[in-house]
C-alpha cells in the first residue's frame, strides 16, 4: 500500500491539494473499504473514524510550517470546532464533490471546511496584509 501511495505522489506536480484527496482513493481501492465516520477493522488494519479519533490522537493541523503563535492559537481552537469540522468534513459530502469534478464551489467548500476552520479568518487577513506589504 505504501508503494502505491508513494507512486501516486510521484505522479503529481507540487500543489496544495489536501492529503485526503490524494491518499484516500488509493487506500480505499487497496483495502476495499467503504468510507464512513465510524472506525473499521479490515485485514488487521484498524482505520480510526472521525467520531473515535479524539480518543486516540490529537490533530496538530500541519504545524510543521506554522509559527509558534499560530500553533498555540490553532491548538486552543481544536476542541471548540471539532463537532463543526466533523459535520463539514463528512466523507459523503467530500465523495459527492469528488464525483462531480473540481468546480469553484467544491474548491470553496474545501477551503472553508479545512483551511478556514483550521487557521481562522485572522490568519488569512494577516496573510493578505503581508502580500500587500510585499507588493509595495
Asked if the structure places residue 54 within a domain, the reply is: no
Quote the domain boundaries for residue 80: 61-135
Asked if the structure places residue 45 within a domain, the reply is: no
Asked if the structure places residue 24 within a domain, the reply is: no
Q: Residue 87: what pLDDT?
A: 82
Residue 78 — pLDDT band, cuts 50, 70, 90?
low
Asked if the structure places residue 92 within a domain, the reply is: yes
pTM of the model: 0.39
Considering its fold, how many domains does the chain have in total?
1
Asked if the structure places residue 122 within a domain, the reply is: yes
Asked if the structure places residue 39 within a domain, the reply is: no
| Cα distance between residue 91 and residue 5, in whole Å | 20
| Cα distance between residue 16 and residue 68, in whole Å | 22
The CA dihedral of 53, 38, 119, 116, to the nearest 10 degrees, is -170
Q: Check pLDDT > 70 for residue 125.
A: yes
Angle at 97 between CA 61 and CA 22, to 5 degrees: 50
Contact present, 49 and 38 (Cβ < 8 Å) = yes
The CA dihedral of 77, 81, 85, 88, to the nearest 10 degrees, is -130
Asked if the structure places residue 66 within a domain, the reply is: yes
Asked if the structure places residue 48 within a domain, the reply is: no
Q: Residue 106: what pLDDT?
A: 84
Residues pairing with 42 in the sheet = 45
Residue 42 — pLDDT band, cuts 50, 70, 90?
confident
| Cα distance between residue 118 and residue 75, in whole Å | 9
Contact present, 89 and 51 (Cβ < 8 Å) = no
Amino acid at each position: 500500500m505504501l508503494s502505491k501511495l508513494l507512486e501516486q505522489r510521484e505522479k503529481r506536480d507540487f500543489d496544495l491539494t489536501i492529503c485526503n484527496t490524494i491518499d484516500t482513493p488509493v487506500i480505499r481501492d487497496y483495502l476495499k473499504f467503504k468510507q464512513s465516520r465510524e472506525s473499521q477493522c479490515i485485514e488487521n488494519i484498524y482505520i480510526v473514524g472521525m467520531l473515535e479519533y479524539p480518543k486516540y490522537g490529537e490533530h496538530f493541523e500541519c504545524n510543521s510550517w506554522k509559527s509558534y503563535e499560530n500553533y498555540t492559537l490553532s491548538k486552543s481552537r481544536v476542541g471548540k470546532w471539532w463537532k463543526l469540522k466533523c459535520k463539514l468534513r463528512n466523507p459523503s459530502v467530500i465523495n459527492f464533490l469528488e464525483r462531480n469534478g473540481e468546480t469553484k464551489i467544491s474548491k470553496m467548500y474545501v477551503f472553508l471546511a479545512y483551511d478556514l476552520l483550521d487557521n481562522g479568518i485572522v490568519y488569512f487577513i494577516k496573510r493578505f496584509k503581508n502580500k500587500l506589504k510585499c507588493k509595495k
